[in-house]
Every structure is written in structure tokens, then in C-alpha cells.
Chains A and B, each alone.
Chain A
Amino acid sequence: MIPEIGQLALIIALCLSIIQTFFPLVGAHKGYASWMALTKPVAQGQCVFVALAFVCLTYAFLQDDFSVLYAANHSNSLMPTMYKFAAVWGGHEGSMLLWILFLSLWTVGVTLFSRSIDDQTLARVVGVLGFLSIGFLLFLLLTSNPFERLFPAALDGRDLNPLLQDPGLVIHPPLLYMGYVGFSVAFAFAIAALISGRIDAAWARWSRPWTTAAWAFLTVGIALGSWWAYYELGWGGWWFWDPVENASFLPWIAGTALIHSLAVTDKRGTFRNWTLLLAITVFSLSLLGTFLVRSGVLVSVHAFATDPERGSYILLFLGVVVGGSLALFAWRAPKVGFGGDFKLVSRESMLLTGNVMLSVTCGAVLLGTIYPLIHDAMGMGKLSVGEPYFNAVFFPLMVPVLFLMGVGPIAKWKQAAIPELKARLKWALLAGVIAAIVLPLLMGGGSLLVSFGTLLAGWVIASVFVNIVNRVNSMNSDQSVIVKLAKQPMHFWGMVVAHFGIGIFVLGVTFVKGFEQEKDVRMDVGDTITLSGYTFLFDGVVKVPGPNYEAQRGIIVVSKDDKPFALLQPEKRVYTVQTNPMTEAAIESTFFEQIYVSLGEPVGGGSWSVRLYYKPLVAWIWAGAGFMALGGLLAMTDKRYRLTVRRRNPLKVEKEEGKSGNKSSPAVPAEG
């Protein structure tokens, strides 16, 4: 009964999403206030029914209802409750339902935090989001119904893929989806702006917090995925340039460009059509990512749950949404124009250059990701594009971006003076150079590449502090430094923290690449091995039963300078249902270093093959991502996004102002 309720809820949600698309969009166009008044209640109602469907599916998992085909395929009665819950999105159908749930949650978010937005814009934004809902709900109901029954019911489920039975994977997909789907809000704002023809600072200010929020979620989602791959796959690597990893990284790069472009449109009213194009691109890349993962057109470690029929549907939807919005862009954007002008040396020009570099990077990664497909489609045979290509294009492109990150925030808008920039940034450069010489020496030497990476990281971090000092000094008052710091707006702190995170990240990557040590050894009970000053004593392997697996747990005592440092217990698990062997690496971190041990295979006579790693600053990679996301969260809380925006000289393509709008509503801005 419960699954049928879920199914019905989905159908009702589909009907509501059709209403949510039609009435607000047409109402906004024709100026029917009563049609636009449907915007909020319908969007919220849709969300209630999607949530109901999600609850019904979750119930089937928690109750071990294996008459539901999807639950029988992805769950098992022996699985711990946390994983039964996570298994709801462990396969294709459930993860698409989660997608839709998030889409409707973001939509509701827009309706709740819309006090500063005029009714007409809100109706258009929610209408566009409603259109996306229709697409995904149809997709779910037509090709991937999660509530399909299995008759007769299975005795027990087939279990969740053991790779996914991990705390990191419980929250990785939801965060990633929050990011992907969150960009739909920026997209909807862009489409609403293209329809109305009003693209101005106020529009950018509305989109900014939503875009930043989505970006912050995506950042954490990608970082968690990378962390999971790092300790679960047992290869000690943290990024593999796998097509599916790239699918999440592409919207991230474009989203980073969008955040900066929106800032310029907000502050200076320029970059208008460029911002619009980026907003469309970012969401298109999210959709493309979904297509690549779900259709199986590329070979990937994530290639589960693929089906050509689903692929055709997503491609069709992609064509309608992306093709339609780019056609709209081609039609309307020439009239929008780029916006105000600026000099060759100015913050605008640096942000534009940085933006172009990020876009080129995004293009290069996209090309590498789909090149095997293009090559094959042209009849030139199969091939794969691997890490060497991505490393060769990605790192050189990032160098100018990192350089500009130091200069841009300090340069003045409109026109900046080079001598002034030099005077301010020489300290940052000096700090970078000192770091580049001293830090590798502390590690006992290093290559030119390590020094260069350290120079860039030092430059980025030092320029953050130069920027803060600069801000404080430029305030003309005799208040204390603390008061002056407290007076800085949150979006400034957001930027500073996120840029600091990039510096930390670059330093982490550089040190891991430059100084990591690895040993693949055979160890007998009682054997010791020394690696980078740490001594590893192998104390044998014991059998440990888990709830739905059997584990072989290695006992390794690590000491440093004859003092005990850590007890590491890497595991090799065999899950009872799917009988896949899984590695669980054991990791011990200090602030600067990390010891990583993974268990290989028994090689006879109680001895095992063991993989030992010494990785300096590796945790800084994820800490850096954490700072980036924290920066995003700080920036979102800035007061300026919550204030009612007065539209100053709105740029109009069509004269339709004044025809509509519920004048009595307090939500209408003074000139809206």
C-alpha cells in the first residue's frame, strides 16, 4: 500500500509541476496577478508531494519491503540502518528521486526567501524551475519508477554495492546533488532575466547567494567523494580524472567563474551577457553530468545503473532545456549587451581574464572527458584519455588563475594603477618566494616544480592577508583594528576565506606530489619497516565479523623516534551477499603528516602484502576545500542580499513594466 501512495504522490507532484510552470510563466507574461499568486502555494505543494514519495520509498527500505523491486535490488535485511537509509539513493531510481526532492526544496527556498524579489520575476523563476520538475518527474515515472513491484517478493535484498557502504558515501551523493540542483536556481534566474529582458545589478544580487550556496554544496560534495576514493580504493590517490569525477568538476569550474562574474554584474553592472551565458552553462554541465553518468556512453568506475533508454530521455531533455535556453540567449542577449566599460588594468579586466581562463579550463576538461566518444563517433576507433592529458592542460591553465587571484581583489574597479599594485603586492610575492625556498628545504630538498607550487600557494595565502591589511588601513577612522575588521562585510570575509582555502589546497597538492613516499612490501608477523622516520611493526591479521561482511583486520603498530605513534588497523572485507572484496585503509593524521596503510593479500605463512604511504600535507587538500565551502557560506550570509534592492535604471528590452504586480504586497520593491 505504502509504495502505491508514493507512486500516486509522484503523479500528483507531476500535475502540480505542470501548474507551477504554466500559470506563473503565462501570468507573468500577461500580467495576470491572480495567476502569479499561484506561484508560491503550488511550488510548496509540489514539494510536499515529492517529499511524501521520498518518505514512502525510505519506508520501504527501512521496513525491508522487498516486494519493491528497487529495494530488493539495493538493500538487504542485514544491512545497518544507516546504510538502509543511504541505499534509498544508492541506485539510479532513488537518486533521481533525491534529485527531484532537492529541486523542489530549492524551489521552496526561493519562494520563502523572496521578500526582496518582485512578484513577476519570482513567478518566472519558479515557473522555469517547475519546467525542470516536469522533465525529471516524467523521466522518473516513464523510465525509472522507484516504486515498481516485484512479484513474488524477494526473500531478501541483493544488498547495496559494498563500495557504497561507507559513512562518506551516505552524505556524498546528497551534497553533490544539492550542488548540481542548486545551480538550477541560477539558471532559472538567468532564463527569467532573458524572458523579461531586465538584467541589472538587482538581478545579479538575487542570483548571487543561491549560486554561492550551490557552489559551496558542490565543493563539499566533490571533496567528500575524493576523500572516499582516497581511503576506500586503497590506491592512495585522491583524484583520478574519471569521467564521472569530471562530470562533477565541470560545473564546479564553470560555477566558480559564474560566482565571480555575478559579483561584477552586481557591483558594476557589467559582464551582463557573459554572466547569463555562464549561468546557463553551469546548469547545462550539471545536466550533462547526469547524462554521462546515467547513459553509459563513457567507461567509468561509476558506470552502474546505465540504460540506453534512459540516456535517450535525458539527451532529449538536455536538448530541450539547453538548446532552448541557448536559443533564447542567442535571441535576447545581443540586446542585453556587455555593460559598462573599464580600463585594461582594473579589477574588471582581471576578473574577466580569470573567468576566460576558467572557461578554457572547463572546455579542456570537457573535451578530454568526451574525446573518447567523439573519436569513436567519427569512426576513428576506441581510445581513452587519461591523467597525463588532464594534468598537462589543467596545471598550466591554473597558474595564471592563481596569479590573478592575488592581484584581482586588491586592484581597484574601473581603473587600477600598476605602481600601487606593485607596492602592495611586493610583500605577498616576497612571502611566496621565501615559502618556495624554505618549505622544500624543511622537507629535505625538492624539485623546481615543488618550489613553483609552493610559490603560488604562498602568493595566494599572503595576498589574502595583504588584502585584509589593506582594507583595514584604508578605513579613515581612529577605531581599533578589531572594530575595523568587524566592520568588513561578510562577502569580503567569504572571499578571503575561500581564497585562503585555495592556497591551502595548492600547498597540499604540491607537497603530496613532491614528497609522498610509498612502499609495497611483504610483511611477516613481527617484521618492521621504516618509512620517512616512522617504524611499522606488523602484528598479524585477525578475523573480525561485521554486520554483513567478514573482515580480515591487520594490526600494525607505528612508532616514531622509538615512541608509540599509532595503532593502525586496515581491513580487507568480503561482503556476504555480493562477495566483493573491499579495502578499508587505516589512516593516522597529524597536522602536517599522514600515515596511510592498506592491506593487500595474504602471501602465505601468515605474511601479507601491505602498502604503506607517507603523505605530508595531504589532509590540507580537503581542508582547503572545506575553507572554500566555508567562504561560500560566509558570503551567503551578507546582509546586502537580504535588503530590498532598489532597481536603478533597469535595462529593458521590452516595455512591460507596470502592467503587472501585486502593488499591495510588501514584497514588491519600491520601483519594481
Chain B
Amino acid sequence: MARFFRSLRYLLPLALFLILAGFLYRGLSLKPSEVPSPLIGKAAPVFELPTLHDANATFSTSQMKGKVWLFNVWASWCPSCRIEHPAFIELAKRNFVAIVGLNYKDERKDGQLWLRTHGGDPYTYIAFDYEGRVAIDWGVYGAPETFIIDKNGIIQYKHIGPVTYQDLEKIIIPKIKELQG
């Protein structure tokens, strides 16, 4: 009996591998960069915040009424935001959709400097969310995250992680064009 249990030890690597393989199999059907947000199809949370560039000016979601807009959560401390930044600059050049930035848990001067040193400011407005309260309302896991909001203020799409050129061309722009009608 003791010997039987001793030889069971040798099954341990196989057992561990099978558990791992199970998770990997499950992982294939999950898409790490696409998170089903409970907010999709719901009204975008309303807020009013000071802007990044001017503490006395404010941005309010009511300004976007009747427009299709892109909402991008970013911060100067977020390395992935550097990856997606050129894509937004490209999008801004085409000038057909408003890009609203949410500068998330950042220092004002860091955020401003970051824009200057990373290729410019593609945002139509940037709201300054120092405490990250608004981000909580929007169900943000971490920066960067990007939302598309339609003319009726409904969230239609959410992208987690950096937006690449490919995402831009294949998903985001077609989605915006479709919503703009």
C-alpha cells in the first residue's frame, strides 16, 4: 500500500500539467483584450470634471450630447498608453470624431508634460480625474481603456489595453462610422 502511494507521486507532474492544459484550453476561448463590460448598451455615466490643461475650465458629458465620441482613459504613468498614443494622434488628424481623454490618477503637470513629450495632444477635451472616481463609475480596470459612445449617450463598445493601428482601422473607425450613420 505504501508503495502504491509512493508511486502516485510520479503522477503529480502529469496531474499538474493536465490542470494547466485545462486552463489553457479555456483561455483559447477567452479574449484577453476584449472584456464584456456590463456597461455596454447602457447610458454612459454622467460627470463633470476640471480639464487637464486648465483647472478653472470644466468638461461635462452633457457637452457631447447628440455626438458620437471616443472616451479614452490614460495616464502618464501608464506604459501601454505610449503604445496607443500614435494611433490616437492619427485618428485626430482625420478629424471626424471627438476624442475625450480621461487623465486618470495622475499629476496635472505630469499629464501635460507627457502629452508634450509623446507626440502631441490628440484630445478634443481632457477631463482630469485625480482621485479616479469617474473611472470607477465607468468600470475601468486600468489604463488604457477606450469606449465608444453613440449619439444617445449609450456606450456601444469598450476596448481594454492599447489601441493599435489595426484595432483602429478594423474595429474602432468602422464602429464610429456605423454609429455616425
Chain A interface (Cβ < 8 Å from any Cβ of B): 235, 273, 277, 280-281, 284, 291, 295-299, 301, 308, 311-312, 315, 318-319, 322-323, 326-327, 329-331, 333-334, 370, 372-374, 376-377, 381-384, 520, 522, 578-581, 600-601, 603, 609
* Known contacts A323-B18, A330-B10, A580-B86; is-contact A601 B24 (Cβ 8 Å): no
Smallest CB-CB separation from A363: which chain B residue?
B16
Chain A nearest CB: distance from B119 CB in Å?
5
In the assembled complex, 19 residue pairs joining A and B whose CB atoms fall closer than 8 Å, in A order, are: A235-B79, A295-B27, A297-B32, A299-B32, A299-B161, A318-B24, A322-B17, A322-B21, A323-B17, A329-B14, A373-B24, A373-B27, A373-B32, A377-B26, A581-B119, A601-B116, A601-B118, A603-B116, A609-B116
Give Cα distance in the complex from A126 to B79, angstroms: 46
The answer to whether A376 touches B32 (Cβ under 8 A) is: yes
Instruction: Determine the chain A residues whose CB is within 8 A of the CB of B13 once the complex forms.
Output: 277, 280-281, 326, 329-330
Given A323, A327, A331, A383, which contacts B141 in the complex, CB threshold below 8 Å?
Answer: A383
The answer to whether A377 touches B118 (Cβ under 8 A) is: no
Smallest CB-CB separation from A601: which chain B residue?
B119
Most B CB atoms within 10 A — which of A281, A295, A297, A308? A297
User: B120 in the interface, Cβ–Cβ < 8 Å?
Assistant: yes
Instruction: Determine the chain A residues whose CB is within 8 A of the CB of B165 once the complex forms.
Output: 578-580
Chain B nearest CB: distance from A72 CB in Å?
16
Chain A nearest CB: distance from B143 CB in Å?
11
Instruction: Determine the chain A residues whose CB is within 8 A of the CB of B7 once the complex forms.
Output: 330, 334
Smallest CB-CB separation from B24: which chain A residue?
A315
Chain B interface (Cβ < 8 Å from any Cβ of A): 6-7, 10-11, 13-14, 17-18, 20-21, 23-33, 35, 79, 83, 86, 90, 113, 116-120, 141-142, 160-161, 165
Smallest CB-CB separation from A301: which chain B residue?
B83
Give Cα distance in the complex from A277 to B11, angstroms: 11
Given B24, B119, B120, B141, which contacts A382 in the complex, CB threshold below 8 Å?
Answer: B141
Instruction: Determine the chain A residues whose CB is within 8 A of the CB of B30 once the complex forms.
Output: 297, 373, 376-377
Chain B nearest CB: distance from A9 CB in Å?
31
Give Cα distance in the complex from A318 to B17, angstroms: 10
Smallest CB-CB separation from B116: which chain A residue?
A603
Instruction: Determine the chain B residues whose CB is within 8 A of the CB of A301 once the complex forms.
Output: 83
Question: Which 9 A-B residue pairings sit nearest by Cβ, starting from the closest?
Answer: A609-B117, A297-B27, A377-B26, A326-B14, A334-B7, A600-B117, A330-B10, A373-B27, A330-B11
Chain A nearest CB: distance from B22 CB in Å?
8
The answer to whether B14 touches A323 (Cβ under 8 A) is: yes
Give Cα distance in the complex from A298 to B161, angstroms: 12
The answer to whether B23 touches A370 (Cβ under 8 A) is: yes
Smallest CB-CB separation from A574: which chain B residue?
B86
Smallest CB-CB separation from A323: which chain B residue?
B17
Chain A nearest CB: distance from B90 CB in Å?
8
Chain B: interface secondary structure? helix
The answer to whether A377 touches B120 (Cβ under 8 A) is: no
The answer to whether B86 touches A581 (Cβ under 8 A) is: yes
Give Cα distance in the complex from A219 to B63, angstroms: 56
Instruction: Determine the chain A residues whose CB is within 8 A of the CB of B27 once the complex forms.
Output: 295, 297-298, 373, 376-377
* Known contacts A334-B6, A373-B23, A382-B160; is-contact A312 B28 (Cβ 8 Å): yes
Instruction: Determine the chain B residues whose CB is within 8 A of the CB of A377 once the complex forms.
Output: 23, 26-27, 30
Smallest CB-CB separation from A334: which chain B residue?
B7
Give Cα distance in the complex from A170 to B79, angstroms: 26
Give Cα distance in the complex from A303 to B113, angstroms: 29
The answer to whether A372 touches B32 (Cβ under 8 A) is: yes
Chain B nearest CB: distance from A80 CB in Å?
23
Given A273, A281, A297, A383, which contacts B24 in the complex, CB threshold below 8 Å?
Answer: A297
Give Cα distance in the complex from A522 to B20, angstroms: 49
The answer to whether B117 touches A520 (Cβ under 8 A) is: yes
Instruction: Determine the chain A residues whose CB is within 8 A of the CB of B79 once the complex forms.
Output: 235
Given A329, A381, A382, A522, which contacts B10 in the complex, CB threshold below 8 Å?
Answer: A329
Instruction: Determine the chain B residues whose CB is within 8 A of the CB of A384 once the complex forms.
Output: 142
Chain B nearest CB: distance from A603 CB in Å?
5
Given A295, A330, A520, which contacts B14 in the complex, CB threshold below 8 Å?
Answer: A330
Give Cα distance in the complex from A299 to B145, angstroms: 14
* Known contacts A373-B27, A581-B119, A601-B116; is-contact A333 B141 (Cβ 8 Å): no
Smallest CB-CB separation from A234: which chain B residue?
B82
Give Cα distance in the complex from A250 to B142, angstroms: 27
Give Cα distance in the complex from A291 to B27, angstroms: 11
Chain A nearest CB: distance from B170 CB in Å?
14
Chain A nearest CB: distance from B2 CB in Å?
13
The answer to whether A601 touches B11 (Cβ under 8 A) is: no
Chain B nearest CB: distance from A257 CB in Å?
14
Give Cα distance in the complex from A297 to B21, angstroms: 12
Give Cα distance in the complex from A189 to B21, angstroms: 24
The answer to whether B32 touches A370 (Cβ under 8 A) is: no
Instruction: Determine the chain A residues whose CB is within 8 A of the CB of B10 once the complex forms.
Output: 273, 329-331, 333-334
The answer to whether A601 touches B120 (Cβ under 8 A) is: yes
Chain B nearest CB: distance from A369 CB in Å?
11
The answer to whether B17 touches A315 (Cβ under 8 A) is: no
Most A CB atoms within 10 A — which of B24, B117, B120? B24
Chain A nearest CB: distance from B27 CB in Å?
4
* Known contacts A308-B28, A323-B21, A330-B11; is-contact A382 B35 (Cβ 8 Å): yes
Chain A nearest CB: distance from B17 CB in Å?
5
* Known contacts A295-B28, A297-B32, A377-B30; is-contact A315 B14 (Cβ 8 Å): no
Give Cα distance in the complex from A600 to B116, angstroms: 9
Chain B nearest CB: distance from A311 CB in Å?
5
Give Cα distance in the complex from A373 to B13, angstroms: 20
Instruction: Determine the chain A residues whose CB is within 8 A of the CB of B18 once the complex forms.
Output: 323
Give Cα distance in the complex from A333 to B10, angstroms: 7
Instruction: Determine the chain B residues whose CB is within 8 A of the CB of A334 once the complex forms.
Output: 6-7, 10
Give Cα distance in the complex from A149 to B83, angstroms: 33
Instruction: Determine the chain B residues whose CB is within 8 A of the CB of A297 once the complex forms.
Output: 24, 27-28, 30, 32
Chain B nearest CB: distance from A308 CB in Å?
6
* Extra contacts besides A377-B30, A603-B117 (7): CB < 8 Å: A295-B24, A308-B28, A323-B14, A323-B18, A377-B26, A381-B141, A580-B86
Chain A nearest CB: distance from B13 CB in Å?
5
Smallest CB-CB separation from A374: which chain B residue?
B23
Smallest CB-CB separation from B90: which chain A residue?
A579
Chain B nearest CB: distance from A286 CB in Å?
14
The answer to whether B117 touches A298 (Cβ under 8 A) is: no
